[in-house]
Amino acid sequence: MLEIKNIHAKIEDKGILKGINLEIKAGEIHAIMGPNGSGKSTLASVITGKEEYEVTDGKILFENEDLEEVSPEERAHKGIFMSFQYPIEIPGITTTNFIKTAINETRKARGENDMPAKDMLKMLREKCDLLDIDQKFLSRSINDGFSGGEKKRNEIFQMAMLEPKLAILDETDSGLDIDALKIVANGVNKLKSQDNAVLVITHYQRLLDYIVPDYVHVLFDGKIVKSGTKDLAHELEKKGYDWIKEEVNK
Amino acid sequence: MSKYTEDDLKKELETKEYEYGFYTDIESDTLPVGLNEDIIVAISKKKEEPEWMTEWRLDAFKKWKEMEEPEWANVEYEKPDLQKISYYSAPSNKPKYNSLDEVDPELLETFKKLGISVDEQKKLAGVAVDVVIDSVSVATSFKDTLSEKGIIFCSMNEAIKKHPELVKKYLGTVIPKTDNYYAALNSAVFSDGSFCYIPKGVKCPMELSTYFRINEAGTGQFERTLVVADKGSYVSYLEGCSAPSRDENQLHAAVVELIALDDAEIKYSTVQNWYPGDNEGKGGVFNFVTKRGICENNAKISWTQVETGSAVTWKYPSCVLKGKNSVGEFYSIAVTNNFQQADTGTKMIHIGENTKSTIISKGISAGKSQNSYRGLVRVGPRAKNSRNFSQCDSLLIGNECGAHTFPYIETKNKSAKIEHEATTSKIGEDQIFYCNQRGIDTEKAIALIVNGFSKEVLNKLPMEFAVEAQKLLEISLEGSVG
C-alpha cells in the first residue's frame, strides 16, 4: 500500500530525514518509535504532503502511485489520514460541519454525490458510540476549547468517519489518560481490517500494548536503524534509547 | 434684511431663466458631464418633478458647494472629479413591466452572470423585486399584493409625484441635506431610488427587495431610499448590489433613510458587491454611502450588511434611538481583498431612556487590503439606563493586509452600560493544512473558516439572502492565499 524509498527531506536547509525505507502492506500495523528530534513527525508530514518540508531525494508510492506531485488534499482523497499530534483549533466551525465537508469533498473528488444527510446522521451516531463520545460534542467548534484528551478522541472520531486506507497516528497517546487511551485504541482496533493499514508514531510503548503492531521500527537521526516485532518495543521501554544510539555510533 | 446687491439680482435672473426651460440637451438620455444648477434643474425636469422638489435639490446643491470632501476616513484614493460625471442616464426606452417575464432578456442574462437569477427570484415566493437599472425603475412586481395592505413600494420618482405629502414630510429628516458632503451631493442630484411606506399596524407580508447595478460607464449612481414604517408596523427590506466589471472608477453616493415610528420595526439587509477593481488595484467603485434610521418609542431598527465589493467603501449605517425603549442593531461583515479599502461601522445615538443597541462587526482582510471598523456609541444626558454591546472581530488572511478598529464612546449619562469586545485572528497555515489533510482544498478551507467567523452575522440575514451572501464571501476571497 505504502512504499517509502530512500526518502530524504529537509526543512529550511536542515536535513531531517536521511534515507528512509519502509513498506506497509494492507492489513498491517507498523509502529515508528524513536527519541525526540529523530524525525518521526517529519516523516508523517512528508507522507501527508505538508509543504514546508522539501523532499530532496527518494520517493513515496501510495498504491503504486508516486505522490510527489499530489497535493495534501488529494492524498487525503486517496485515503491517507493523519491523526495530528497537536490538533488545530478552528473556531466557528462545528465538528459536524467540518466532517461533513471533509466527507463530501472526498466523495466529490471520487466523482460521487454528497452523502445523504440521513446516512451521515446514522454514521455520526454509530461512530460516537464506538468512541464513547457524547453527541453534544458534535455541535462544538472543532477542537476549540477541547481538552487534550478530547482533541485526540476527536481525531480518531474523524478517522472513523473518513474510513481511510492508511491512518497515521502521530503521538496519539500523548495527553491521554489510561481510560481514554483504551477507548481510542479500542476504536482503532475495531476500524482495522485486512484492507487498511495503520502507522503508529509514538515515543512510548504504552500505546502499543493496546494497538499491537506487526512491525516496530526505530528511527534515529533521520534513519530507520532497527526493525523488529513488538518485542523490540518492550526492549526499548526497558533499556531506553541510549543503547540504540550506542549501537548506531559503533 | 441685507442689502439687495447686483449679485443677488443676477442670481434671481438666473433662477428665472430655469422656469422658461432655457436649458437644452434635456432630450438626450444622458445628461452632459458636469455639475451645476442647470444640470440639477435638468434632472428635476427629466423626472417631471414638482417645483418643491426642484427647490429642494437646488438648496442642497447650494449647501454642498460650501462643503468639503471629508478626509478623516482611513482610506486613500484619488478624489473623483465630480465635474467629469454625468448625473443622469436612463435606458433608451423605459417601459414599466407588470411581470419580470417581460424584462429584456439581455438584462436577465446579466443577472444570471451576477449569480442573481431573476427566475430564482420569482420562485422565491414572497419577494417583490423593484429593479433599478441606471437610475430608472424598469420592473416592479407583487405590487398588487402590497397595495391591498395599503403598502406603498415604488420608485422615489413615482413617490414624489403620487405621494408628495409623505415624501415632503420625511425626506431629509433623518439625514439632513447638510449632513455630510456626499449626502448633500446626493440630495442635489439623486436620480431615483425606492420609497416604501408601511401603514399603521401592518406587517409587510413579504421581504421587499431592490437590486441595483451600475450600467453605463461614467455614470454616477445616486440612489435615494426612504422607508417609513408607521406605528406598530413591520417591514424587512433587502438591498442587493452588484456591478459588472469595468476599469473606470465610479462613484456611488447613496442615501438611505429609515423612519420607525412608535412600536414599529424595520429590518434592512444589504449585500454589496460593487466592482472592487482588479487585482492590481485598478478601477472599482467608490462607495460613499450615508445610511441612518430613527427610532421613536419602542421602535427597532436592525441593519445587516455584507460588504464584499467596491474599491473604497465609506459607510456607517446608524440608528438614532430617540424614543424610549427603542432598539438599534448593526450586524456587519466587511470583506476586503487585493487593494480594496473599507472604512465602515455604525453610529448608535442613544437619546431616549432605556434604549438598547448591539453592534456585531466582522472584518475580513486579505491581499493588500485595508479594513477599518469605525463606530460611535453616544449616550445623551436623558438616555437613562441605556445599554450598548459592541463586538468587533477581525480576521486576517496573509501578511500584507491590515485590520483597524476605531471605536468611539461618548456618554453623558452615568446609568449607561457600554461594553466593547474586540478580537483579531489570522487564518494560519496550520489551520489550512489541517483542512487539506482532511481532503478540503485551500479555497474551500478559507470559505469554511470565513463562514464560521461570520456566522453570527450571516444568521441575521433572511434565508435566501444568507445563501447568496455565503457564495459571495467565497467568490470575494478566491485566490487570497497563494
Domain coordinates in residue numbering, chain B: 84-476
Kindly compute the dihedral angle of the four CA atoms of residues A123, A127, A128, A133, in this order, to the nearest 10 degrees: -160
Q: What is the pTM of this model?
A: 0.79
pLDDT score for B104: 54
Distance from CA of B55 to the nearest CA of A (A): 53
pLDDT score for B92: 41
Distance from CA of B427 to the nearest CA of A (A): 9
Q: How confident is the model at residue B10 (pLDDT cuts 50, 70, 90)?
A: very low
B residues 440-459 lying closer than 8 A (beta carbon) to A? 440-442, 444, 448-449, 451-455
Q: Which grid cell is B467?
A: 445563501
Ramachandran region of residue A63, left (φ > 0), alpha (ψ -120 to 50) or beta? left
Q: Which residues of A touch B (CB under 8 A)?
A: 48-51, 71-73, 75-77, 81-82, 84, 87-88, 90-93, 97-98, 101-102, 105-106, 109, 141, 158, 162
For residue B356, pLDDT beyond 90: yes
CB contact under 8 A, B439 and A76: yes
Superfamily for domain range A2-249: P-loop containing nucleotide triphosphate hydrolases (3.40.50.300)
- Give the separation between CA B42 and CA B90, rounded to whole angstroms: 13
For residue B94, pLDDT beyond 70: no
Q: Look at B10 and A143; give whichever has higher pLDDT.
A: A143
Question: Which residues neighbour B83 within 8 Å (Cβ) at sequence distance 6 or greater?
Answer: B33, B34, B35
Average pLDDT over chain B reads 80
Average pLDDT over residues A139-165: 91
For residue A78, pLDDT beyond 90: yes
Average pLDDT over residues A51-80: 94
Spatial contact of B395 and B426, defined as CB atoms under 8 Å apart: yes
Q: What is the pLDDT of residues B374-411, one digit of tens each?
A: 999 999 999 999 999 999 999 998 888 999 999 999 99
Return the residue of B nearest to A47 by Cα.
B437
Q: Which grid cell is B261?
A: 415610528
Residue type, B438: R
CB contact under 8 A, B440 and A141: no
For residue B258, pLDDT beyond 80: yes
Q: Which grid cell is B77?
A: 484614493
Average pLDDT over residues B90-106: 51
The ipTM assigned to this model is: 0.95
For residue B368, pLDDT beyond 80: yes
For residue B323, pLDDT beyond 80: yes
- Give the separation between CA B216 and CA B319, rounded to whole angstroms: 33
| Beta pairing class for B387-396 and B417-426 | parallel
**DSSP state, A12?**
T
Question: Measured between beta carbons, which residues in chain B are less than 8 angstroms from residue A102?
Answer: 435, 438-440
pLDDT score for B103: 56
CB contact under 8 A, B444 and A88: no
The fraction of chain B above a pLDDT of 90, given in percent, is 45
pLDDT score for B108: 56
Question: Measured between beta carbons, which residues in chain A are less than 8 angstroms from residue B448?
Answer: 90, 93, 97-98, 101
CB contact under 8 A, A105 and B433: no
Q: What is the pLDDT of residues B217-237, one digit of tens each?
A: 344 478 899 999 999 999 999
Strand partners, A24: A2
Q: How confident is the model at residue A218 (pLDDT cuts 50, 70, 90)?
A: very high
For residue B298, pLDDT beyond 80: yes
Distance from CA of B429 to the nearest CA of A (A): 10
B residues 423-442 lying closer than 8 A (beta carbon) to A? 425, 428, 430-431, 433-442
| Beta pairing class for A166-170 and A14-24 | unpaired
Question: Measured between beta carbons, which residues in chain B are less than 8 angstroms from residue A109?
Answer: 439
The fraction of chain B above a pLDDT of 70, given in percent, is 77
CB contact under 8 A, A92 and B431: no
Name the residue ranges covered by the structural domains of chain A: 2-249
Question: Which residues neighbour B136 within 8 Å (Cβ) at sequence distance 6 or greater?
Answer: B90, B91, B94, B155, B157, B191, B192
Question: Which residues neighbour B36 within 8 Å (Cβ) at sequence distance 6 or greater?
Answer: none
Spatial contact of A205 and A233, defined as CB atoms under 8 Å apart: yes
Q: How confident is the model at residue A234 (pLDDT cuts 50, 70, 90)?
A: confident
Distance from CA of A115 to the nearest CA of B (A): 15
For residue A2, pLDDT beyond 80: yes
- Give the separation between CA B335 and CA B341, rounded to whole angstroms: 9
Query: How many Cβ atoms sit within 10 Å of the Cβ of residue B246?
Result: 17
Residues A133-138: contacts with CB within 8 Å, 24+ apart? A133/A157, A137/A95, A138/A94, A138/A95, A138/A96
pLDDT score for B95: 38
Average pLDDT over residues A147-173: 92
- Most confident of the following: A55-64, B63-72, B241-250: A55-64
Helices (H) and strands (E) in chain B, counts: 12, 21
Spatial contact of B335 and B309, defined as CB atoms under 8 Å apart: no
Kindly compute the dihedral angle of the four CA atoms of residues A45, A48, A53, A57, in this order, to the nearest 10 degrees: 110
**In terms of residues, how long is chain B?**
482
Of B430, B434, B439, the CB nearest to A77: B439
Question: Measured between beta carbons, which residues in chain A are less than 8 angstroms from residue B444?
Answer: 101, 105
pLDDT score for B69: 86
- Most confident of the following: A128-132, B20-24, B80-84: A128-132
Of B444, B452, B455, the CB nearest to A90: B452
- Give the separation between CA B340 and CA B80, rounded to whole angstroms: 16
